[in-house]
Chains A and B, each alone.
Chain A
């Protein structure tokens, strides 16, 4: 009787394009660039290029086969975002919810200057 493995991995080999480079170097370069920008669904802190998860291999296979078929990387990214949301891309689009992040350094700098303006003017006066 076979024992059930502790790791939930299939018995099947990786998908064809999971670990093979595309023959066309320009396509492979576009595919690699995209793979580093798509988050792995299983190991959510890694890109699919870095992750060893089987599903990451299948996502690499998906990306490479579509690029080989002539699809544009941004179209593939949009397809994935449509299914999983913006977080799956390491290059999310600039959404209004992000503006505090960009404005905060400027605002803090401004607040800091306000705090020290009295000291600057005092020094100038003396």
Chain B
């Protein structure tokens, strides 16, 4: 074997070690994204989460204008921080519907009273059925749904204040 070739196994080891170190420094993205982007919202019909607020069904999401569908829960701590951001979006004319995951009516009512209510409708999803049907994996998450009921954008985690322009841009794209 030539003199250089004997270093091949060592070089190979070096490459593998470099790859491992790189992966430690740049961990993979473990955020779960729905694969339904670009597809129609699966048909669903949820009962009202609280009395006095309309119930939510998939048919009500295809209104001709883009809407924001927000998954939240009264026991979800980041949702408390997201509430003022949703309020801001509502003030800028965004139509927001909510789905309360695994929640009792009194807890939802309490949450909305304490943190503000940006929702036009709120559905109650007590066994996460609709959450699973949409490819969502936790709260809070928001979906931009266009006027024909097609899912256009998924935002995983709370919408931060500096992400408001991003959400507005996505809603604009969905027009």
Interface string of B57-88 (1 = CB under 8 A from A): 00000000000000001011100100000000
Q: Report Cα–Cα, A54/B138, bound state, in Å.
A: 10
Q: Which of chain B's residues have a CB closer than 8 A to the CB of A11?
A: 75, 104, 107
Q: Which of chain A's residues have a CB closer than 8 A to the CB of B32?
A: 41, 84
Q: Report Cα–Cα, A16/B129, bound state, in Å.
A: 13
**Interchain CB contact under 8 A, B132 and A8:** no
Q: Is A68 an interface residue (CB 8 A)?
A: no
**Interchain CB contact under 8 A, A54 and B102:** yes
Q: Which of chain A's residues have a CB closer than 8 A to the CB of B132?
A: 58-59, 62, 80, 83
- Closest-by-CB residue of B relative to A59 is B132
**Interchain CB contact under 8 A, B103 and A84:** no
Q: A42-B138, A58-B132 are in contact. Are A12 and B35 (CB under 8 A)?
A: no
**Interchain CB contact under 8 A, B129 and A84:** no
- A55's partner among B126, B134, B138 (CB-CB below 8 A) is B138
Q: Is A5 an interface residue (CB 8 A)?
A: yes
Q: A55-B128, A82-B35, A83-B133 are in contact. Are A10 and B101 (CB under 8 A)?
A: yes
Q: Which of chain B's residues have a CB closer than 8 A to the CB of A10?
A: 73, 75, 101-103
Q: Report Cα–Cα, A6/B102, bound state, in Å.
A: 17
- Closest-by-CB residue of A relative to B101 is A10
Q: Which of chain B's residues have a CB closer than 8 A to the CB of A83?
A: 34-36, 132-135
Q: Is B30 an interface residue (CB 8 A)?
A: yes
Q: Report Cα–Cα, A62/B125, bound state, in Å.
A: 13
Using a CB–CB cutoff of 8 Å, the interface residues on chain B facing chain A are 30, 32, 34-36, 73, 75-77, 80, 101-104, 107, 126-129, 131-135, 137-139
A to B CB contacts below 8 Å, 8 in the list: A4-B77, A12-B104, A55-B128, A55-B137, A58-B127, A62-B127, A83-B35, A84-B137
List 8 additional contacts besides A5-B75, A58-B127, A83-B36; criterion CB under 8 Å.
A8-B76, A11-B107, A12-B103, A15-B128, A41-B137, A55-B128, A59-B132, A83-B135
Which 7 interchain pairs have the tightest Cβ spacing?
A83-B135, A10-B102, A58-B128, A41-B137, A15-B127, A10-B75, A12-B102
